[in-house]
Amino acid sequence: MLAGGAKGNEPLVFQDEGKTYRAFLEGRVKDKSYILLIHLTNLELKGISK
């Protein structure tokens, strides 16, 4: 399990030049292969309070 924040109970968030992106992970398994995808979105984000 992967999450953000000091306690690991907050959403996974990235910032690039002031733009905030929320991350979603997706894992796929096929036979003996595994791929982990990260999807980033900047749509409908609420403010992040610290």
Q: Does the pLDDT value for residue 23 go beyond 80?
A: yes
pLDDT at 47: 61
pLDDT at 21: 84
Tell me the domain boundaries of the chain: 1-45
Question: What is the distance between the alpha carbons of residues 38 and 14, in angstroms, rounded to a whole number?
Answer: 11
Model confidence over 29-50: pLDDT tens digits?
999 999 999 888 876 555 666 5
Question: How far apart, in Å, are the Cα atoms of 6 and each of 3, 11, 40, 46?
Answer: 9, 11, 21, 19
The answer, yes or no, to whether residue 14 has pLDDT greater than 90, is no
Task: Give the span between the Cα atoms of 13 and 41, in whole angstroms.
Answer: 10
Q: Look up residue 27 and give its two tokens.
A: 């894992």
For residue 27, CA distances in Å to 1, 16, 37, 39, 40 come to 12, 24, 6, 11, 15
Average pLDDT over residues 10-17: 82
Per-residue pLDDT band at 28 (split at 50, 70, 90) = very high
